Structures are given as structure tokens and as C-alpha cells.
Structure 1
Amino acid sequence: MIETIAAEMATYAQLVPLEMTQTEIYESVQDDTLLNASFWANIALAGIAILLFVYMGRNVKDPRAQLIWVATLMVPLVSIASYTGLASGLTISFLEMPSGHALAGEEVLTMWGRYLTWTLSTPMILLALGLLAGTNLTKLFTIITADIAMCVTGLAAAMTTSSYAIRWFWYFISCTFFIVVLYVLLVEWPKDAEAANTAEIFNLLKILTVVLWFGYPIFWALGAEGLAILDVAITSWGYSFLDIGAKYVFAFLLLRWVAANEAVIAKQPSTFTIGAGPESGAGTPADD
């Protein structure tokens, strides 16, 4: 009897592989040169960006301009930590895809650490943009809340293995929150930027942000998490290239403008008011 149970357990162990250890995941990442390079390229660029942005903001004195600078600096700081987590295998898992998926029954590498990065870094991008536009607290809270919800529901889509349909349902919920973000960026904040005399740089950064952020749901849909048209390494490089433009290029353009136009930022009224912002041309200098 005991021998029979032992034999059955041995057979079950062969059919159901043990969960991969972090070391095994790390070695798997190391073995995929293209995938591994997509992580280390961003670690290197984030490090360079941190040093550059510290230098660029060294003479910023106005409190509002300093807050824009700090929020922007947080983006590469979060990224270097997050990409290190990916490169080390700490924030990567192998998940078995559900029935209906193109890779159903296969264990697919899932880079859930990227969603952690986006949840922490994209609100900083929006905070910096909102401060640049001279928006009010209501709009700032709305867009940042929708952005965090977008990232968290995107993570839920990537991590759901019980149902292929529910994965896509999470995806469409995430896209719905994205629409809220787009509305504030494209409709509400341009009017605030006009009133704050920052419309020219805001519109440039707005276009850059919207165009690049559209790339993330597209790569999700085409990648191994969605339709599996693109493999994991190509998808990872797609995300990495988008991060380079949406984070480091964005931050460089913003900080260069702020450093050269600090007086314009200093004249903006306080962001921390509820409801509608000032009408165009009606802004008054802050008391501080």
C-alpha cells in the first residue's frame, strides 16, 4: 500500500513541475541574451539620467520648479531599481497560460515587475506635467488615480491564469482608465497650460507622452501576454524603447525647459486648490 502511494506521488511529481526558484529564473534570463540586454540597457540609461538630471537641477530655486524637478528625478530612480529587479529575476514569474491563449498550457515568462515600475513612475510623470500646466488639485488627483488604476488592472490582466477571457476583460478595464488619463491630458490640461503660459512646452510633452503611452497596450496585446504574436524578448525591447522615450527623453526636455524658464513657473498660482483653475490670463503670482 505504501509502495503504491509512493509510486503515485513520484508520478505526480514528474507531471507537475516544482515552482522555479529565483536562481533558476535568473539563469533563464541570463540565457536569453536579447531579453537580458533589454533590462541592462535601461539600467545603464537610468543611471546616466540620474546623474544628468541632478546636474541640470542644481540651480533650481523656486519651490514649484523644485517639485517638478524632484518628481521628474524620481522616474529614473524608480526605473533603475525596477529594472534591477527584472534583471535579477526577482520580479519575474513563469505563469501557465489559460485555455484559449495561443500558448495555452505553456509556462510563459511574465515581467510583472514592469507594472510595479509603471505604477510608481507614471504618477511622477503626470505630477510633473500637471505642475507645469498649472492645474488644480482636483484634476491632478483624478488623473493620477486613474493612472494608478490603469497600471494595477494591467497587472491583473498579466497575472490572471484562470481564464483567457478574464485576462482580456482586465485589459479593457485598464484601457478604460487610460481613456480618463487621455481626456485630462488632451482636453483639460492644455487649457490650464495656456493660462500658465507654458502651452508650448506642455503641448510638446503632451504629444510625446500620448504617442508613446499608446504603445504599451499595443505591445501587451501583441506580446506573449495577449495574442502571442511577438515573443517575450521582442516585447521586452518594445517596452524598453517606450520607457526610454516616455521617461528619459521626456524628463530631459522638461528639465531643460524648467531650468531655463524658472521665472515662468514661479509666477503660477498654487496648484493645491479645489475645482476650476484660473481663467486664461487671470493667474496671479504665488505669495511665496
Structure 2
Amino acid sequence: MLKRPTSTATAGPGPIPTIIPTPTDWEVLGEAGHRTLWVTFAIMLVSSAIFTLLSWNVPTSRRIYHVLTTLTTIIATLSYFAIASGHAASYNCTTVTDSHKHVPDTHHEVCRQVYWARYVDWALTSPLLVLNLSLLAGIDGAHTLMAIVANLITVLSALFAAFGSAGTPQRWGWYAISCISYIFSLWHVGLHGSRTVGAKGNAVSKLFSSLAIFSLVVWTAYPVVWGVVLDHKTNVDTEIIIYAVLDTLIKPFFGLWLLVSHRALAETNIDLGGWWSHGFASEGRIRIGDEE
């Protein structure tokens, strides 16, 4: 008697590998960064008040450094208030590829907070700092203007790179333009300043050299930190803290150093003519009581 062949169990199709999409990674400030912003805002505000008080007993004709320094910290105060209060920020989102063994690659976005108010601050205050150094050294108007424009290009190029796509040649191209412009700004201030400041005496030369070297060290730290941030190698809180320290050094500390030294050195006074103190309408008049 023949036996019917028994049916054998066959393995059914296995489960299809599935992947849960990676959610968007949001790189935003935390508690430490938020607290740092408010502390820096307070430092800038108090500094502005101190610089204003220091200018009260100074004649208008000698107040140019006070005006430029006070404007620098006032602009920084507004910038930090805007950032700390949750405004003046945007997101730069970059698509990241996730590789898998048995299924096609997937993609997710990394969105990082970019505070555009910071770049507005730098675009306005950095030229004021350059102007302070140029006036102190007695640099001519042509080189002063070139230094200011180069400094402005440095900041704007940094802004364009901050909103560029990560890892793209375009982004690093803007970074390179920013660094080259920064070198040109240093060249106009440092090289020509060292040549012209000698006419003001040894004391002013030492002051300019000290302030210029200090500014060089602090300003050079900005593109270094910015390049690290550009490559997403630090979090937003660390970025905020580092920039807050640098801003405090190059604005309130630099400004106080300059104004206190200026008060003690008569050679740092600048003759801007009657326009600065009295306006163009008074040109040609005889003014009694004008200081020598």
C-alpha cells in the first residue's frame, strides 16, 4: 500500500525590516546659555552707564572716544536683550544621511539656532572699535575707511556662512572670505597704525601697541570659535558662553582701558575741528572760550 507523501511545512516570508525615522535634532540653548545671555546683557548695560558718566566732565571736543565706546556697549546691550528675550534668532537646518545595513539610507534634519542679532551687533560695533584704534594711532582716512569696510565684509561673510548648508564648499568659501577680509583689516590698522602713532610720543605708542595686541588676540579667537561652531563640534550653550566672554573683553574691558588711559594722556586728544563741537553752521565765527 502506497503512502501518500506527507506535506512538509515551508517557512513563510520573514518580517520586513522597518526603520523608525529619526526625528529632527534641534540644537537650542539651555539654562546655562540663557542665564549667560542675561548676565552679559547686565554687564553691557552697566558699562554703558559707566561710560556715559565718564564723559560728563569731558569737553565735547575731547569726547570722541567716549561716544564711540558708549555706542559700542549700547548696541551690544540691545543685541543681548533681543537674544535673551527669545527674539532675533533663526534656525539653520541641514539634512543628515543615516546609513543602515539591510535597508535603504534614511535622512533626518539637524536644526541649530543661529542668533542673527549677534551679527548685526558685530557689523555695527566692530567698525567702531576699528575707528577707535585708528583715531588713537592717527591713521589717515583712506586706510581707516578700508579697515572698516574690510571688517564689515568679515562679519557679513560670517553671517552668510552661518546660514549655509553644512559641509558645502559654498559655506567654507564664505568662511575663507571672512578670514581674508579680517587679515586685510588687521593689516590696515596694525601696519599703518604702528607707523603713524610714533608721532604722538612714546606713551601713546605703548598704549596703542597694548590695545592693538589685546584686540588681535581677542578678535582672532572669534573666527576660530566660529569655525568650530560651523562644523557642529560644540553645543549652543558653549557657543553662547564663549562669545559672551569675548564680547565682554573687547567691548566693556577694552573701552574702560581706552577711556582711563585717554584721560591720563593729553597726547591722545584729537582735533576734529569746529564741526565736531559746534557744527558746520558755526565755521568762520570767532568762538570765545574754545579750548586750545
* TM-score > 0.5 by shorter chain: yes
- Does residue 57 of structure 1 match 2:47? no
Deviates most, 156-165 or 109-118: 156-165
Displacement, 1:135?
A: 1.4
Please identify which structure carries the higher helix content: 1
Q: Write the letter of the residue equivalent to 1:205.
A: L
Equivalent residue of 1:59, what SS? Answer: coil
CA RMSD of aligned residues (A): 2.8
Q: Report the 3-state secondary structure (helix = DSSP H, G, I; strand = E; otherwise coil) of the residue aligned with 2:109.
A: coil
Which of 208, 213, 225 aligns to 1:207? It is: 213
Is 2:222 the counterpart of 1:216?
A: yes
Q: Which runs of 5+ in 1 are unaligned?
A: 1-14, 273-286
- Name 1:161's counterpart in structure 2: 165
CA gap 1:182/1:117 in 2 versus in 1, 3 angstroms:
same
Residue in structure 1 matched with residue 234 of structure 2 by the alignment = 230
Tell me which amino acid in the other structure corresponds to 1:58: W
Whether the 8 Å CA contact 1:78–1:121 is kept in 2: the answer is yes
TM-score normalized with structure 1 length: 0.77
Question: What secondary structure is seen at the aligned counterpart in 2 of 1:106?
Answer: strand
User: 1:57, 1:255 within 8 Å by CA — same for their partners in 2?
Assistant: no
Does the CA-based 8 Å contact 2:51-2:70 persist in structure 1?
yes
CA contact (8 A) 2:136 2:208 kept: yes
Cα distance in 2 for residues equivalent to 1:191 and 1:104: 55
Residues 159, 60 of structure 1: alpha-carbon distance in 2 compared, 3 angstrom cutoff: same
CA contact (8 A) 2:144 2:189 kept: no
Please, which of 253, 269, 289 is the counterpart of residue 266 of structure 1?
269
| Residues 182 and 128 of structure 1, relative CA distance in 2, 3 Å threshold | same
2: CA distance between counterparts of 1:72 and 1:194?
23
Evaluate the alpha carbon distance shift between residue 115 and residue 269 of structure 1 in structure 2; reply closer, same or farther with a 3 A threshold.
closer
Query: How many residues of Structure 1 are paired with residues of Structure 2 in the alignment?
Result: 244
Structure number having the greater strand percentage: 2
Structure 2 stretches lacking a partner, 5+ long: 1-21, 98-106, 276-290
Instruction: Read off the aligned partner of 2:235 and give its amino acid letter.
Output: D
Identity of aligned residues (%): 24
Closer, same or farther in 2 for the Cα pair 1:50/1:267, shift >3 Å? closer
Equivalent residues of 1:193, 1:199 under 8 A apart: yes
* Structure 1 residue aligned with 2:73: 76
The structure having more radius of gyration, on CA atoms, is: 2
Q: How big is the shift at 1:105?
A: 2.4
Q: Is the 8 A contact 1:39 1:83 kept in 2?
A: yes
Residue 156 of structure 1: CA displacement? 0.5
Pair 267,180 (structure 1): closer, same or farther in 2 beyond 3 Å: closer
Deviation (angstroms), 1:266: 3.4
TM-score by length of 2: 0.76
Contact 1:56 1:259 in 2 (8 A): no
1:52-201 → structure 2 map (5 Å cutoff): 52-61=50-59, 63=61, 65-97=62-94, 105-161=109-165, 164-197=168-201, 198-201=204-207
